[in-house]
Structures are given as structure tokens and as C-alpha cells.
A = this chain, B = another copy of it.
Amino acid sequence: MAIETDRTKIISRRSRPAKTALSQELIVSTALEILARDGVDGLSLRRVAAALDTGAASLYVYLENLDELYALMLDQALSAVRAPKSDQSTWRVRLKAMLASYFSALCKHRGLAQLAMSTIPCGPNSLRIWESLLVLLHAGGVVDTKAAWAVDLLTLYVTAIAAEHATRASHDQALARVKIVFAGLSRKTFPLVFAGREALLSGDGGARRDWAIDAIIDGIVGPNPPPRSKRKAAR
């Protein structure tokens, strides 16, 4: 998407981005950089403006408001999500790969997932991803309304788990509170919580996420999955 707007970007790369002409894309990229570096608490319009050697007011030529910036940031970050090649593996493996890619795109910039939770993703990259997910689900026999709802459910889960991930990572105070609570947990009043306290805490990253995604897909496909054809799953 117009990676290098014009020459200046190549010529005058000194200490600073050297007063490149402002553009929506540049603003968004800069904002994503700041987000990745300083997290969601370090991101502000004023800081983005400062990084671009200008004042916050200047950005309003390119943005209606902060929410629009968030939406654009989300979509630009989602450009990293790629649909896996269609000529290999089952639809299920490809679906999971795509969701994993979605997850890591959200995690790449610290706190992006939190923004994603309060933004309805509807940029070009979201559309592309939705389409790919729908194709994969169709291959799995999930169609129509169910397919639409399934895309929503799957992306919602991935976004939520990424947001939780980011919260725990950046916000160790909250995590410390949980640990204290678990340390003083009464085995009598809460026997099952007590027994499962390890598992409840364990981010354990991958394992829990993989299990959850599989569970959700199982649930979506339903108890009577369509007959598995011997052919490669349809494109």
C-alpha cells in the first residue's frame, strides 16, 4: 500500500524521519511504532505528533479523531495476517494457522488488542481476513448464518485472548493481586478453585489457546460433522 510515498523518505534519512510530508499512513505507522515501544499507556495523539515533529492539532487534517486512528492502526496491523496457501493441509489446519497469525499480529504491537476490543474492525484487511475465514469454514461445511457467526466468535476469542495476554504482560500489579488471592485461598470454601488454581493461572500461552481454539471449532462444526471427503478440502 504505497510503501514509500515519495523520494524524501529515501534521500533525507538523518537522525529524524526528517520532516516527511505528513500523511495518514505515516501517522498510523508512527502510532503503531509508539504502541509497540511504549504500550497502550504510552500512546497519545500528542506523542504521535511529537514523534512527527509537529503539534497535535496538525493531525486533525488527516484524522477525524482518536477513534479513527485506532481503527486505522488496527487495520494496518492486520495487514500482516496472511491466508495460508490453499493447496495444502485440511481446512481446519489452515483455519488454525490463520487464527494464529491473527493472534500474533495483535500481539506484535503491545496493547493493540485492547484497542481492537473497542473498535469494530471493518477496514480492507479485516474484510480480506473475514473472506478467507469464511472460505475455510465453508470448506468445513459451515455455511450461511452459522459461518458468519463463527467468524465473529473466532475473531472475538482471538482478540480477547490477545487483549488478556497484553493486560497481564503490561500490568503486573493486577497479576500480583491474583497471586496473593490464590496464595490465601481457602480450600474449604472454594475446593474446586483451589484444586485448579495452577491451571487457572497458567498462562501457559500456547497450550491453553490451542485447546480453546480446537474446542470452539469443534463446537462450531457441531456433533454431526459433514462427511469428510477424501479429496483435499475444497478451496
Given contacts A67-B173, A145-B199, contact A153 B215 (CB under 8 A): yes
* Chain A interface SS verdict (over half): helix
Given contacts A215-B216, A218-B223, contact A174 B131 (CB under 8 A): no
Q: For the complex, is A206 an interface residue (Cβ under 8 Å from B)? A: no
CA distance A145 to B149 in the complex (A): 28
Q: How far is the CB of A218 from chain B (nearest CB, A)?
A: 4
B149, B160, B178: the one within 8 Å of A199 (CB): B149
Residues of chain B with a CB closer than 8 A to A145's CB? 196, 199
On whether the beta carbons of B163 and A193 are closer than 8 Å, the reply is no
On whether the beta carbons of B219 and A220 are closer than 8 Å, the reply is yes
- Of the 9-residue stretches A28-36, A46-54, A97-105, A112-120, which lies at the interface with chain B? A112-120
| CB proximity to B under 8 Å, residues A104-127 | 114, 117-120, 122, 127
B159, B182, B192, B198: the one within 8 Å of A147 (CB): B192
The 9 closest A-B pairs by CB, nearest first: A219-B219, A215-B219, A148-B199, A134-B192, A148-B196, A160-B160, A218-B219, A145-B199, A122-B178
10 more A-B residue pairs beyond the given contacts A153-B212, A214-B219, with a C-beta to C-beta distance below 8 A: A67-B171, A118-B167, A122-B181, A135-B192, A144-B199, A147-B199, A153-B215, A160-B160, A215-B220, A219-B219
14 pairs of residues in contact across A and B, judged by CB atoms under 8 Å? A67-B173, A117-B167, A118-B163, A122-B178, A144-B199, A145-B199, A147-B192, A148-B196, A149-B199, A153-B216, A157-B157, A160-B160, A214-B219, A223-B223
